[in-house]
Amino acid sequence: MQRKPLLGTIAVLSAFLPGIIATSSPSFADETIKPAVVYSTGGKFDGAFNQSAFTGAEKFKTDTGIDYREFELRNDTQSQQAIRTFARDGHDPVVVIGFQQASALAEVAPEFPETRFAIVDMVVDQPNVQSVVFREHEGSFIVGMLAAMASNSNTIGAVGGMDIPLIRRMTCGYQLGAHYVKSDANVLVNFVGTTGAAWNDPIRGGELTKTQIGKGADVVLQLAGGTGIGVLQAASDAKILGIGSDANQNGLHPGQVLTSMVKHVDVAVYEAFKAARYGNWQPGIKSLGLAEGGIDWALDENNRDLMTDDMEVAAKKAKADIIRGKITIHDYMIDNTCPN
């Protein structure tokens, strides 16, 4: 499934940029590469999104012995300088993490036509950029089902980080999944903020969780990057269940995290590095979902006891049905609405 570029403006704007490359996409087959990663604000130890990217880079290092360089943004204005510095120093491929860096990459990529770039979570339409996007709504659908089945109060919650379509798409999938198994399930949704700060505010995340718990929620999903640590903490403090996202967060509070909606940013980073290493790197859009193994739900020794047979069977069946196309999940980002 090929999705339309999300940010048409980027494509249009890039037409204005100087030095449009007329040559075909760069091809390499080198033995030694100098990979680099630029993490988004929140940093590589956010326990979620960026950390997953870090895991992938580390795995590549272990597997191949090739070291990589990395930079953590303090604020989004540093993005251009970071990407440009890596490219100028001859790093290749340069993987940038997070949609916030899209406009910076769109700016820098044409300046270094020989460098291979990859971006996670956003589309940048350039001949030397690989854009990795995830169909997160497929995963949140399944954890929504599990949440509704695990809930005794029939009320479940989700705390989103930044209020943007990307996160609304996940809350929408969550809601649809919950209603798929229990049509009367009550789903509470809150967002932390409208700026990048919303990814890094565990205290506010915890506050919202406490309110949702007060309103009766006994399972709460975090979709908030570093903020989510506070969500899972508040859930654990109140002895209810949390659901992790991005990375497998089941082990943060064993027995208190029902499952995690895993988004394999690690695989995206690893694959981008590996493809560059073996010379089969491709520009363009890579859409990853359940079928490609880019999205999944986590079951391990930390949550095994929380998962009943019914739940496991239902989740596995739904996963198979989504892959086969028997269940189609509405994508919020197509029309910016969520059917109830």
Partner 1 sequence: MSNVVQLPRWIDVGLLPILNLVLALAVSGLVVLAIGENPIEVVEVLLYGAFGYDEAWGYTLYYTTNFVFTGLAFAVAFQCGLFNIGAEGQAYIGGLGVALSALYLDFLPFPVMLIVSAIAAAAFGAGWAYIPAYLQARRGSHIVITTIMFNFIASSVMVYLLVNVLRPEGSMSPESARIAEHLTLPNIVSLASWFGIEAANSPLNLSFVYAIIASVLVWLLIWHTRWGYSIRTAGANSVAATYAGIEPGRHIIMAMMISGALASFVALNEVMGAQQRLLIDFTAGYGFVGIAVALMGRNHPFGIFLASLLFGMLYQGGAELGFEIPTISNDMVVVIQGLVILFTGAMGNMLRPGVGGIYQKLYVAWINRRNSRESA
Partner 2 sequence: MEIFQIGVLLLDATLRTSTPLILAALAGIFSERSGTINLALEGMMLGGAFSAATIAFYTGNPWIGLLAAIATTIGLSLIHGFACITQRGNQVVSGMAINILMSGLTALVGIALFAQGGKTPALDKASRFQPITLPGAEAVRDVPILGPIYFELLSGHNVLVYIAFFAVPAAWWVMYRTRFGLRLRAVGENPGAVDTAGISVVLMRYRAVVCSGVLVGMSGAYLSTAQGASFLQDMTAGKGYIALAAMVFGKWRPFPALFACLLFGFLDAAATRLQGVILPGIGEVPVQLVQALPYVLTVILLAGFIGRATPPKALGRAYVKER
Angle at alpha carbon of residue 77, lines to 72 and 80, rounded to 5°: 75
193 forms part of the interface with partner 2 (CB under 8 A)? yes
Query: Applying CB under 8 A, which of residues 21, 66, 164, 314 lies at the interface with partner 1?
Result: 164
Tell me the helix, strand and coil percentages in the chain, rounded to 5. Answer: 45, 20, 35
Q: Which CB atom, from 138 or from 201, has the smaller least distance to partner 2?
A: 201
Q: Which CB atom, from 105 or from 299, has the smaller least distance to partner 1?
A: 105
Q: Which parts of 158-177 interact with partner 2 (CB under 8 A)?
A: 160, 163
201 forms part of the interface with partner 2 (CB under 8 A)? yes
d(CA 253, CA 160): 20
76 forms part of the interface with partner 1 (CB under 8 A)? yes
Q: Which amino acid is at 142?
A: I
For residue 213, the minimal CB distance to partner 1 (Å) is 28
Q: Can you read off the two tokens belonging to residue 62?
A: 């272990």
337 forms part of the interface with partner 1 (CB under 8 A)? no
Query: Applying CB under 8 A, which of residues 20, 29, 195, 316 lies at the interface with partner 1?
Result: 195
User: C-alpha distances in angstroms, 49 versus 229, 308, 310?
Assistant: 12, 28, 30
**Segments in the chain forming alpha helices (H):** 8-14, 49-64, 79-88, 102-108, 136-150, 165-181, 202-214, 228-237, 265-277, 309-324, 332-335
Q: Which parts of 14-53 interact with partner 1 (CB under 8 A)?
A: 16-18
Query: Applying CB under 8 A, which of residues 176, 192, 262, 306 lies at the interface with partner 2?
Result: 192
Q: Which CB atom, from 195 or from 282, has the smaller least distance to partner 1?
A: 195
| Residues 109 and 79: beta-carbon distance below 8 Å | no
Positions in the binding site for partner 1 (CB under 8 A)? 6-9, 13, 16-18, 69, 71-72, 74-78, 80-81, 84-85, 88, 99-100, 102-103, 111, 122, 162, 164-166, 194-196
